């Protein structure tokens, strides 16, 4: 269920962030407890707690005493902002590097991007 | 604070052979720690000495602040479940009742639930149980005792994969509700890997690795591709294992890889496969804890 190459706690944090960014977990919504995560993923509860703590420390989750953990206000926006910042290094740079290797020039690359249609709709920009 | 289990300089000799060689570690507070190693590495001897069923040749063991030897007050707060455990020839029902008198935190509700989970016949004599049923009975006692110090020594004899998963699930669930110090020895490492918070690896009677389980993920990676590309990538890294066939090579490099390393591997058309805990543990003997930590921080 987990990638062997990275600590489980960071993968838990990553998955929850993903769900918040996608809006699956809405702001103000309760997130699964440490114990629920431990039981579902069959992992040590201390590991699950460490994953949750990453998000609490990052201000994405807030603890309400005795009730549980909730998605903090503004969490989604902040996650999307981080993704924007990483977009260049994660996607554009490798894309351009590979295009250079294959001898695809800038104009053709732009054309390819325009024509690409992940969900059939093409680029909306 | 006093550690829950404190083992210091523990050595055990059998007729000149060292079963345990200067073993030192502390376990502090509730956690699930894995004691990993090959058969004959010293796992059982270590657990038996911690629970005072066997004696040290040198060194000391303290459990809950005291020596466990002939110490009823401590022994009631700990339970050891062994592989191929033997029991007094009683009916299952009576054996469980006797256990409930011995262990102060005994949970009858948990015992009943586990008996149902494992389909144990309460009215049958222990002598008439199959090997797997005896193992399951050991698991019932080990968990229902809710002892502050719970030791499981490879409680797998006769259990199939489904029953083992049941054991892991029930152990995790009860640990979550009632945290306690658990030490679980196993050679089925990948099955239990995600349950463990800490890992002690024992080899030839010595602790060769003591680390947080999560820190070991990604601590070593198999890199394969053409010989030239692999050699270029591996240059300057600690290489643990090297095998080649024709123009292809595969090496195990230790140390966590970063995004730059991954990008470099893509350029070189290398495939990267992180070692599982099982694979990692089989690579560890022969390397000291210090080497591994240096490799990781390098």
Q: Six-digit token pair at B279?
A: 């694979």
Residue among A8, A38, A46 whose CB faces B217 most closely: A8
Encode pLDDT of B176-188 as tens digits: 999 999 999 998 8
In terms of Cβ atoms closer than 10 Å to its own Cβ (0-12, 13-18, 19+), residue B144 is buried
Q: What is the pLDDT of residue A124?
A: 62
Query: Predicted confidence band at A94 (pLDDT cuts at 50, 70, 90)?
Result: confident
Average pLDDT, chain A: 89
Contacting residues of B for A43, CB less than 8 Å apart = 194-195
Give the fold, CATH level 3, of B217-297: Alpha-Beta Plaits (3.30.70)
Greatest mean pLDDT among A86-90, B102-106, B211-215? B102-106
CA–CA gap between residue A60 and residue A27 (Å, rounded): 9
Contacting residues of B for A35, CB less than 8 Å apart = 176-177
Class of B5-215 per CATH?
alpha beta
Q: What is the pLDDT of residue A2?
A: 85
- Separation in Å, CA of B31 to nearest CA in chain A: 8
A13 touches chain B (CB under 8 A): no
A92 touches chain B (CB under 8 A): no
Q: What is the pLDDT of residue B35?
A: 96
0.85 surpassed by complex ipTM: no
What DSSP letter does each residue of chain B carry, written as one string?
---SEEEEEEEEEETTEEEEEEEEEEE-SSEEEEEE--TTSSHHHHHHHHTTSS--SEEEEEETTB--TT-HHHHTTEEEE-TT----S-BHHHHHHHHHHH-TT--HHHHHHHHHHTT--TTSBGGGS-HHHHHHHHHHHHHHT--SEEEEE-TTTT--HHHHHHHHHHHHHHHHHS--EEEEEES-HHHHGGG-SEEEEEETTEEEEEEEHHHHTTSEEEEEEEHHHHHHHHTTSEEEEEEEETTEEEEEEES---HHHHHHHHHTT-EEEEPPHHHHHHH-TTS-HHHHHHHHH-
Q: Six-digit token pair at B82?
A: 């062994």
Q: What is the pLDDT of residue A89?
A: 83
Q: What is the pLDDT of residue B298?
A: 43
Of A125 and B218, more confident: B218
Segment B161-177 mean pLDDT: 95
Encode pLDDT of B39-80 as tens digits: 889 999 999 999 999 999 999 999 999 999 999 999 999 999
Residue with tokens 């706690």: A9
Q: Looking at B28-32, B178-182, B278-282, which range is the least confident one?
A: B278-282
B-chain residue closest to A93, CA distance: B263
Q: Boundaries of CATH 3.40.50.300 in chain B?
A: 5-215
Q: Which of B192, B217, B268, B278 to mutate to test the interface with A (most CBs of A within 10 A)?
A: B217
Q: Boundaries of CATH 3.30.70 in chain B?
A: 217-297
Please check the confidence at residue B200 and state whether its pLDDT lies above 90.
yes
CA–CA gap between residue B246 and residue B224 (Å, rounded): 13
Residue among B179, B257, B276 whose CB faces A4 most closely: B276
At CA B269, angle to CA B262 and CA A85, rounded to 5?
A: 35
Please check the confidence at residue B284 and state whether its pLDDT lies above 90.
no
């Amino acid at each position: 269920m987990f990638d062997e190459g990275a600590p489980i706690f960071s993968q838990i944090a990553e998955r929850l962030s993903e769900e918040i960014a996608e809006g699956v977990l809405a702001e103000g919504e309760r997130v699964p407890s440490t114990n629920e995560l431990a039981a579902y993923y069959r992992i040590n509860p201390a590991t699950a707690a460490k994953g949750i703590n990453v998000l609490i420390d990052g201000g994405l989750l807030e603890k309400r005493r005795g009730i549980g953990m909730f998605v903090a206000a503004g969490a989604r926006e902040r996650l999307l902002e981080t993704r924007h910042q990483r977009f260049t290094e994660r996607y554009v740079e490798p894309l351009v590097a590979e295009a250079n290797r294959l001898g695809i020039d800038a104009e053709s690359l732009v054309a390819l991007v325009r024509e690409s249609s992940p969900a059939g709709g093409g680029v909306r920009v | 604070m006093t550690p829950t289990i404190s083992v210091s300089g523990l050595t055990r000799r059998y007729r000149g052979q060292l079963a345990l060689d200067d073993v030192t570690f502390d376990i502090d507070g509730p956690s699930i720690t894995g004691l990993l190693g090959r058969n004959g590495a010293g796992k059982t001897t270590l657990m038996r000495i911690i629970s005072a069923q066997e004696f040290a040749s040198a060194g000391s063991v303290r459990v809950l602040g005291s020596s466990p030897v002939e110490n009823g007050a401590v022994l009631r707060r700990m339970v050891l479940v062994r592989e191929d455990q033997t029991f007094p020839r009683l009916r299952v029902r009576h054996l469980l009742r006797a256990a409930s008198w011995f262990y102060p935190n005994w949970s009858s509700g948990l015992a009943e639930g586990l008996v149902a989970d494992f389909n144990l016949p309460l009215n049958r004599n222990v002598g008439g149980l199959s090997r797997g049923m005896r193992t399951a009975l050991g698991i019932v006692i080990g968990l229902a005792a809710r002892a502050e110090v719970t030791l499981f020594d490879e409680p797998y004899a006769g259990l199939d994969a489904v029953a083992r998963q049941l054991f892991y699930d029930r152990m995790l669930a009860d640990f979550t509700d009632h945290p306690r110090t658990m030490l679980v020895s196993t050679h089925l490492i990948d099955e239990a890997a995600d349950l463990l918070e800490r890992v002690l690896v024992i080899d030839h009677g010595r602790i060769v690795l003591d680390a947080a389980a999560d820190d070991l993920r990604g601590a070593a990676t198999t890199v394969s591709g053409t010989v030239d590309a692999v050699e270029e990538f591996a240059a300057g890294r600690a290489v643990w294992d090297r095998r080649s066939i024709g123009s292809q090579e595969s090496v195990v490099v230790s140390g966590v890889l970063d995004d730059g390393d991954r990008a470099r591997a893509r350029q070189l058309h290398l495939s990267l496969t992180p070692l599982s805990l099982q694979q990692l543990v089989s690579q560890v003997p022969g390397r000291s804890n210090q080497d591994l930590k240096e490799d990781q921080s390098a």
